[in-house]
Structure 1
Amino acid sequence: MVRISETVRTRFGRSGVRTALAVLALFSLVTAVLAYLLPQRLAIALTAAVLVAEAGVVVLVALRTYRGVRRAEEARQRPESVQGRSGPFRSVQLTDEQRRILKNWRARLFGGFSATAMRELRPVVTSASASPAYRLAVAEMVMDWYAAKEARSEDRDPLRFDIVITSHFALPGGTTSANAEEIRAYRKAGLTVGLLHHPVYHWDVARPIDQKILDLVDGEQVRLLDAADAAECDLMIVRFPPAVMRLLDDRPRITAARTVLVVNQTPYSFYGPEGGTSVAWDVRTVYENLTEWVGDHTWYAIGPVVRDALREHHADEMERVDLADAFWYESIDAAEWRRPGQRERDGGPFRIGRHSRDARLKWPDTADLVRACYPTEGDDYEVRILGGAEIPKEILGGLPANWVDHPFNSMPSRDFLADVDAMVYFISSEGAEAFGRAPLEAMAVGLPCVMEHRFEELFGDAAIYCSPEEVRGVLDRLRTDPAYYAEQAEKAVRYVREHFSHEAQLARVAGLGVDRLRTAAADGVVAA
């Protein structure tokens, strides 16, 4: 019906249809008056003639409508029309901008934000200002969604999981790595895990779930949840606060004995003397949304930087929040990551490794600081970067000859770290590094890590802490003193095993009521 009515408006125009109806109505009224005034024989003849004429008009309108619908259907079925140039919208008359807009709305409509999308899309179908092709494409998209909704079974048996993780699983960086590592830990422990993908509404909702996550989904022990599911679990873990700034309209029914929010990002990207800048998420909005959805819940900061930011810069907003004293550290398979021993140098330069996103806040602020932390000349040191080096290139006016740049995701970080000798990790003075996944991975490999003092509470004696001016002296000692090198490498591995390993993560969730792990802890299988 939507296609037929749209085609009628397309073929005749809204005003044309109304005019035709008005003329027919007026003609009928005049005929009725004449039939009343004229003799009976003439009145009958006149009425018959009018009915024949009106029937003819109706037939013509129906015929033109049918032809219009057929043409629209044929155009929709033609291969070159179905995909067009940039998406699944049938009409070749759409502009590139209209295709882009429709792609975004389609992603929201089918990606869990249907109520919000429908409020915007329904008026477009009857809009006089939108082009007929655009209105038809919107109408077909809405019809596709209704068809998909009807085909999806809403009467499903509840699913039972040990843990449900709700997060934005399409992010390319640390959040996805942390989620994937936890899922691996739970799988190895025999736990069942449900995954609810919760994208950020204002971002690219069409971005697919990261392959790291999909590789862990087997449909049995680890399952993806959709809006029609009902699930019960001992623990629901919500990671990445920006995702719940706007809740999904279409959510599965999840009943959790306990829910935690892992705060793995500060509300502002930068914190300076005058407060925060560049808002990432809002404390009150996240708290109210999550409370409306799951009720009482507990927040866990991922490390000291996040905890301090919440307490020092957001104290008023945190009044109602239950913030745990313990941290929700990221985890890693310590046994899998550790390399057998130090890399064979064969007389070559000492390799300094660094991997992170190529972002301004991930690097020291000035050229002098960059040179102090990362040697830019000489034969003793080589700086290897994984993740891109456009920022230091801009700061230094070019990359030094002893630097090697590997683009983001050009190799697994474990392979990259296994081929260097130490990690040096210094960032912008205004950067609020929530955790530091990169140095954690380096420590798990067995690399000595040289870092600034702000990370000391998080990593303890696992790293060497100093100012930028002291970095070169630390590196010289690591390069020339094998015993000192081995001692620091062992400290790093031990600290990771005690605080950031899969075993440490399992003990954490066991303490939060995951029954299967509590039983294992009681039997001495998992450390409590």
Structure 2
Amino acid sequence: MSGRPIGTSFAYVVEPRFSGGTSAAVAAELRVTAQLGPVVVHARRSTMFGGDRHVAPVLRQAIDELSLPLIWDAPEIKADVVIFHNPSFLKFQTTFGGRIFARQLIVVTHENFLRPGGVEAFDVATCLDQIDRATLALSKCLAPISVHNRATMTEWLSAHRGRLDWKVLGSDWFNICVPDVSEPRDPPRDRRGRHSRPTREKFPPLADLDLCFPPHSEANVILGADFLMAAEVARPHWTMLAFGSLDVARFFEMVDFLVYFTAPTWRESFGRVIAEALAAGKVVLTDPDTGATFGDAVVACRPEEVDRLVQGFVAAPDSYTAQVQRAKPVLEALSASAFHRRLVQLLELEAGVCV
């Protein structure tokens, strides 16, 4: 990846205590943005997380490696481009608590605006209004991170037309992924798994888990099964492991298929776990909304279709290999190099235009 610095100054506005995909996404992004101009990271304490000054380890590592300034709760934030990540952290307060001055303000919307069925996922208007009132900028843009995230944003904006004047970037502000794809197992075996943070919304109903991880599978590994273990769910054919108890790389060595569904009332906004599985050379089976960002690199299906699909791949190893290989161009389009090109393109456009 190359590209001369263009002298643009950047300010990142983050709630650095997000422990999941938000902090990992910002960390990867900082390593790209720092090549293009000076970067300052503005950390904001929020009612959502309280008053301490903890920084998620993955984000702290990137800030330290790049020797970036980290400023807490500045009354004024000034830069050519201000990139505001995950505005949902403002949902329990009424004011942002500072002023933002920029040529371009880009608000990266990590959380879906709507849940399945059209229910608002959080108080979107309250969060965006706080940023809007605090900002003086030539251009204000919302940046969805995925196909599904964009769809929920578009639907929400259509229902609130006229109240908020936000443009929407024409291309997704994707989470940066590792583009290298490991060689697939040859031949594949019926070894299934899933991993996520141990929150209930990350898991489908127990009946769907039973469909996805049946007794006749050679292995069923569930990493992040804390609440299942606490509830004493008895499935002798499942290997249930607490979140963080096993290195993710080791987890992927134990499975050939990632089977990932969530609660019916919730969807992933991006699906970093899916990107990790694709890079590890695994076949991924998931719902169509979650899989949309990854195109034909994943197998979109319903829980009741999983067993037939897995058996088909096991019976036809060439089809398994072909499916794994579909991940490479998809992950390359979500790579640091692709993000670099996208950001340069955005910055070279006339101020005030979102593409």
- TM-score norm. by structure 2 comes to 0.83
Return the alpha-carbon distance in structure 2 between the equivalents of residues 207 and 418 of structure 1: 36
- 1:299 paired with 2:134, answer no
Write out aligned runs for 1:362-441 (5 A): 362-365=202-205, 367-375=206-214, 377-378=215-216, 380-391=217-228, 394=231, 398-441=233-276
Per-residue CA deviation, residues 227-274 of structure 1 (Å, 9 max, x unaligned), is: 56976544221111123444453x4x7643311111111245x443xx
- Report how far residue 401 of structure 1 moved: 1.9
- Report how far residue 467 of structure 1 moved: 2.1
Classify the secondary structure of the residue corresponding to 1:205: coil
* Structure with bigger gyration radius: 1
Structure with greater strand percent: 2
Structure 1 pair 451/162, CA: closer, same or farther in 2 (3 Å)? same
Classify the secondary structure of the residue corresponding to 1:199: coil
Classify the secondary structure of the residue corresponding to 1:180: helix
- Corresponding letter in the other structure for 1:209: V
Contact 2:142/2:166 (<8 A) preserved: yes
Contact 2:45/2:72 (<8 A) preserved: no
Contact 2:78/2:102 (<8 A) preserved: yes
Out of 13, 29, 42, the position equivalent to 1:182 is: 29
- Corresponding letter in the other structure for 2:132: T
- 1:256 paired with 2:102, answer yes
Q: What is residue 16 of structure 2 aligned with on the other side?
A: 169
Contact 2:113/2:156 (<8 A) preserved: no
Q: What is residue 352 of structure 2 aligned with on the other side?
A: none
Structure with greater helix percent: 1
- Report how far residue 385 of structure 1 moved: 2.0
- Report how far residue 438 of structure 1 moved: 1.1
Q: CA RMSD in A?
A: 3.0
Q: What is residue 84 of structure 1 aligned with on the other side?
A: none
Return the alpha-carbon distance in structure 1 between the equivalents of residues 201 and 287 of structure 2: 14
Percentage of matched positions with identical amino acids: 22
Return the alpha-carbon distance in structure 1 between the equivalents of residues 225 and 291 of structure 2: 26
Per-residue CA deviation, residues 336-378 of structure 1 (Å, 9 max, x unaligned), is: xx33x23578x9x63222111222222223x332211222x12
Classify the secondary structure of the residue corresponding to 2:347: coil
- 1:489 paired with 2:324, answer yes
- 1:469 paired with 2:304, answer yes
- Alignment: residue pair count: 338
Return the alpha-carbon distance in structure 2 between the equivalents of residues 425 and 214 of structure 1: 29
Out of 205, 219, 222, the position equivalent to 2:68 is: 222
- 1:236 paired with 2:82, answer yes
Return the alpha-carbon distance in structure 1 between the equivalents of residues 230 and 318 of structure 2: 35
Structure 1 pair 313/163, CA: closer, same or farther in 2 (3 Å)? closer
- 1:451 paired with 2:292, answer no
- Report how far residue 502 of structure 1 moved: 0.8
Structure 1 pair 364/470, CA: closer, same or farther in 2 (3 Å)? same
Q: What is residue 4 of structure 2 aligned with on the other side?
A: none
Return the alpha-carbon distance in structure 1 between the equivalents of residues 318 and 305 of structure 2: 20
Q: What is residue 82 of structure 1 aligned with on the other side?
A: none
Classify the secondary structure of the residue corresponding to 2:10: strand
Classify the secondary structure of the residue corresponding to 2:332: helix
Write out aligned runs for 1:332-343 (5 A): 332-335=177-180, 338-339=181-182, 341-343=183-185
Structure 1 pair 229/316, CA: closer, same or farther in 2 (3 Å)? closer
Per-residue CA deviation, residues 129-164 of structure 1 (Å, 9 max, x unaligned), is: xxxxxxxxxxxxxxxxxxxxxxxxxxxxxxx86432
What stretches of structure 1 of length at least 5 have no aligned partner? 1-159, 516-528
Contact 2:9/2:79 (<8 A) preserved: yes
- Corresponding letter in the other structure for 2:177: I
- TM-score norm. by structure 1 comes to 0.58
Q: What is residue 154 of structure 2 aligned with on the other side?
A: 311
Q: What is residue 44 of structure 2 aligned with on the other side?
A: 198
Classify the secondary structure of the residue corresponding to 1:310: helix
- Report how far residue 436 of structure 1 moved: 1.3
- 1:328 paired with 2:173, answer yes
- Report how far residue 411 of structure 1 moved: 3.9
Q: What is residue 123 of structure 2 aligned with on the other side?
A: 281
Out of 163, 174, 190, the position equivalent to 1:350 is: 190
Contact 2:178/2:331 (<8 A) preserved: no
Structure 1 pair 425/317, CA: closer, same or farther in 2 (3 Å)? same
By relative contact order (CA 8 Å, sep 6+), the higher-ranking structure is: 2
Return the alpha-carbon distance in structure 2 between the equivalents of residues 373 and 219 of structure 1: 41
Return the alpha-carbon distance in structure 2 between the equivalents of residues 399 and 312 of structure 1: 41
- 1:501 paired with 2:335, answer yes
Return the alpha-carbon distance in structure 1 between the equivalents of residues 297 and 229 of structure 2: 27
Structure 1 pair 227/205, CA: closer, same or farther in 2 (3 Å)? closer
Q: What is residue 345 of structure 2 aligned with on the other side?
A: 511
